[in-house]
Amino acid sequence: MTSRVDADGNNRQSLSNDELHHLNDFIRHHQPQSVAINLLFSFLNDEDECRIEQSLKQAFPELFISRSSEVLPEYKEYERGIATWLNAWVGPLVQGYLKRLATGVQPAQLSVMQSSGGTIAAADQSTDSSHNNPFHNESVLTFDMGGTSTDVAVIEGELQLTSEGHIGDYPVAISMVDMHTIGAGGGSIAWVDEGGILQVGPESAGASPGPACYAQGGQQATVTDANLILGRLSGDAFLGGSMQLDEDASRCAIETLATQLSLSSADKAIEETASGIIQVANEHMTRALRVMSIQRGIDPKTLVLVPFGGAGALHVCALAENLQMSQAMVPIHAGVLSAFGMVVAPHSRDLSHTINTLLELAGEEQLNEQLKILADRGVAELSSEGIDKAEIKIYYSVDLRYSGQSYTLSVPWSGLDKTVQAFHDLHQKRYGHQHNQAIELVNLRVKVSASPVVLSLPKLPLATNPAVVTSQRTLYGIDDAVSIYQRETLSYSHKIKGPALIVERVSTTWLEPNWVCEVDPVGNLLLSSRS
């Protein structure tokens, strides 16, 4: 290809028609499912990328085409190329699945959650849908513990976004919720390394065959098996009693580990090994929580820990104690909170454009004009999905850095002077210092968003009697029998002292000793430490 665009966006040499014909011949010979187009400096001048796309569309109408100046019109060739390639890689599979799903749910409309926390019409789906949306509240530290992984995020008023995320080992510079993901979930497999040390994850048993206790052929011990052996899960009440767990299978799997750890002859060897599995898994999650809080200059003691996902509430008290946190909340519908978030998330678009200049050289009026161009594009896209323009809100932000730095911080755009001060303050908070030197403007960002869906949760009746204990169970490490409560029977203002188990169809809350729980008006469990 002889296309040449310089660093200022000037077209030095355009593609010839002969080259486009040769490219079409190449595609016709190899018959790929998708094509990724990524030319140098196309975020400044995408003329040749668009010519390639148009030529391929005319010759191959069914070909999935991913163009970098559309996927990620920003600098950093590697990150832009990876995002474009990933989009081309997963695009045909996702596109085919969504088309079939959209046909199957007609006449209902199908939307897809984006990594940035909003939804998008299924027809416009691309790489954006790589993560779930965490719980939205004031000043909370969240962790979503499912079957294969745990996602950690901090929310201080608004969702925090980043353009420095990863999918696996690949950097993905699209805007996404700023979270840290580790391979620690209910299905994480426990194993003993060559040094004789107990490890947990990152490999997972998945849903099939799943943990050993699922009795679907899994033979390796997992975190779920450990919770079952310790008594924190009930084998005959899992998923509201619709699924029976095989405790004998869990014991057999964990006994294998106990033998490898030379504990097989010890009293309660299986229980001790199960306890060790939980401790290792908790330490992995604690480190992830520290990454998103302490390592960013945020004191976790000032936050509320919010667990969700099917397994999160089993570990919330231990994780809070590890971080010296005294407040936690298990939200209503915690086990399926990500799905609940998808229902109420607004339609939105996130658009960006690279500027890469000293902020003092960028005129405020010119920046406002360029931000408006991005905003108008986003508003038009939402309007095409049937969103009333009067309902659309627009948020402006910029990526800034001190001259000479490699990484940026994103701050809201509120005029030149206020934005500069906001950047200094954020740099001070994040890194503990600020500089008296020139600031570079790297990217303009615009988020256009419809109003979120408003759902009113039903209020619980005020409790007139103490919470009813439905049964009791002996748990490993606890002297007395532990009371078990059905969450569905709890009312507003009910108070429960740990140790206790609060069970529901989609999750279980393990209220450890020295913790108390109070039910709020809509059924959230407010946990506090008595120590």
Instruction: Examine residue 461 and say whether the peptide bond preceding it is cis (omega within 30 degrees of 0).
Output: no
d(CA 446, CA 375): 6
Confidence of residue 133 (pLDDT cuts 50, 70, 90): very low
Mean predicted confidence (pLDDT) in 126-145: 60
Torsion angle in degrees (nearest 10) through CA of 324, 328, 334, 338: -70
Structure tokens at 418: 């206020």
* Predicted confidence band of residue 136 (pLDDT cuts 50, 70, 90): very low
Q: Give the confidence band of 120 by pLDDT, cuts at 50, 70, 90.
A: low
pLDDT-derived band at 325 (thresholds 50, 70, 90) equals very high
With cut-offs at 50, 70 and 90, classify the pLDDT of residue 131. Answer: very low
Confidence (pLDDT) at 180: 81
Indicate whether 122 pLDDT > 90.
Answer: no
Percent of the chain's residues with pLDDT above 90: 52
Q: Which residue has the higher pLDDT, 511 or 124?
A: 511
Confidence of residue 135 (pLDDT cuts 50, 70, 90): very low
**pLDDT of residue 128 exceeding 80:** no
346: cis peptide before it, omega within 30°? no
Q: Where residue 113 falls among pLDDT bands split at 50, 70, 90?
A: low
Domain boundaries, the chain: 4-104, 188-280, 346-449, 471-529
Residue 491 scores a pLDDT above 90: yes
Mean pLDDT estimate for the chain = 87
Q: What is the pLDDT of residue 116?
A: 64
Residue 284 in this model has a pLDDT that exceeds 90:
yes
What pLDDT, on the 0 to 100 scale, is given for residue 184? 87
pLDDT in tens, 155-183: 877 667 666 666 767 777 676 777 788 88
**Average pLDDT of the segment spanning 116-143:** 58
Model pTM score: 0.75
User: Which bin fits 268, alpha (ψ -120 to 50), beta or left (φ > 0)?
Assistant: left
Reported as a single tens digit per residue, the pLDDT across 330-374 is 999 998 888 888 778 888 888 888 888 898 888 889 999 999 999
pLDDT recorded at residue 316: 97
Identify the sign of the CA torsion 308, 311, 317, 322.
Answer: negative
| pLDDT tens digits, 190-207 | 999 999 999 998 999 988
Mean pLDDT of the 415-435 span? 90
User: Per-residue pLDDT averaged across 399-403, rounded?
Assistant: 93
pLDDT, tens only, 31-60: 999 999 999 998 888 899 999 999 999 999
pLDDT value, residue 354: 86
CATH number of 346-449: 3.30.1490
Beta-sheet strands, E only, within 404-492? 409-412, 439-449, 471-473, 482-486
Q: Is residue 304 predicted with pLDDT exceeding 90? A: yes
Res 93: pLDDT: 86
**DSSP per-residue string spanning 114-170:** -TTS-EEEGGG--TT-SSPPPP--SSEEEEEE-SS-EEEEEEBSB--EES-EEETTE
